[in-house]
Amino acid sequence: MSRYLNPYTDFGFKKLFGEEGNKDLLTDFLNQLLPPHHQINRLQFKNPENLPNLPLERKAIFDIYCQSITGENFIVEMQKAKLHFFKDRALFYSTFPIRDQAKKGEWDFKLTPVYYVAILDFKYDELEEKQKLLREVALKDQEGHLFYDKLHFKFLQMPLFTKPEHELATHFDKWLYFLKNLDSFEQIPAILNEPLFQKAFETLEEANLSPEQREQYQKSLLTYWELKGVVDTAREEGLQKGREEGKLEGILQVALTMKQKGLAIEVIETMTGLTQSKIEGL
């Protein structure tokens, strides 16, 4: 066990950003990503399990779902592995806080802004020449001019952040350095020794957990390690198989490896796009 929790785990991420007493940490982090006119003064958490109106509709479960006092809505997620139809999933999730704004009776359709923020523990951009640490997406017209300023997607590809301590130039750099290296620290680095980060370190110090929390974290950490190992192995084996036998066979090999490692059918469906019956038949 490291001195500090791994923020890429479900437990660590929600401990850092999803607790009522740490809203100042989440506010500060989000403000590094937001334009001046959408800066947050205060946040309130909303139910992360967003249930649709019809029972047959698919529900959305967010890592963190919150709203500023001025109405901006934020979905903040930690993504540990690249999923099939990743862009579609992000767009689908963004529709829930949009639809939640609908009012009964007469309504002029005025909406408050929605931000989908994803911290990625993998490289989403496969072509090296097109890779960006922060990929920001908004609706623009054919000339590249902003068409709509109330729907934004921000994808942070954490493996692309490689700055050492002496190269950190901004507050945002410090946040990325903190998230990227936290579970390897044995003490607070000098450049992060300031009140905000001191609180973040204290929040994620393993020694401050109760026995029940420690057990929850250990399970979360084990799940993270298993998922990373399975995905890395499956992707490599699938790519090799795909080169030999074609794209479909490669995907089937990925799914088979995941199944043999004990991943849930639903997870394999999401990551490969295969049907449940196809996976069960492997």
Do both 48 and 78 map to the same domain? yes
Do both 110 and 161 map to the same domain? yes
- Give the end of a domain, one of 209, 225, 243: 209
**Residue 83 gets which letter from DSSP?**
P
Q: Work out the pLDDT band at 158, boundaries 50, 70, 90.
A: very high
- Is residue 82 domain-resident? yes
Burial-class residue 213 by CB neighbours within 10 Å (0-12, 13-18, 19+). Answer: middle
Do both 136 and 171 map to the same domain? yes
Distance, CA of 134 to CA of 118 (rounded, Å): 10
- Give the end of a domain, one of 151, 174, 209: 209
- Is residue 1 domain-resident? no
Do both 192 and 96 map to the same domain? yes
Do both 271 and 244 map to the same domain? yes
Do both 55 and 27 map to the same domain? yes
- Is residue 141 domain-resident? yes
Distance, CA of 125 to CA of 131 (rounded, Å): 5
Do both 109 and 21 map to the same domain? yes
- Is residue 2 domain-resident? no
Mean pLDDT of the chain: 86
- Give the end of a domain, one of 160, 186, 209: 209
Distance, CA of 64 to CA of 206 (rounded, Å): 22
pTM of the model: 0.79
Q: Work out the pLDDT band at 235, boundaries 50, 70, 90.
A: low
Over residues 229-246, mean pLDDT? 59
pLDDT of residue 33: 94
Q: 220: domain range?
A: 210-282
| Domains in the chain, number | 2
121-127, long-range: CB within 8 Å, 24+ apart, which pairs?
A: 121/8, 121/78, 121/79, 121/80, 121/81, 121/158, 121/159, 121/228, 122/79, 122/80, 122/81, 122/82, 122/157, 122/159, 123/157, 123/159, 123/160, 124/82, 124/86, 124/155, 124/157, 125/157
Do both 120 and 202 map to the same domain? yes
Do both 192 and 204 map to the same domain? yes
pLDDT of residue 50: 66
- Is residue 251 domain-resident? yes
What are the tens digits of pLDDT across the range 110-124? 999 999 999 999 888
Do both 265 and 281 map to the same domain? yes
Do both 50 and 152 map to the same domain? yes
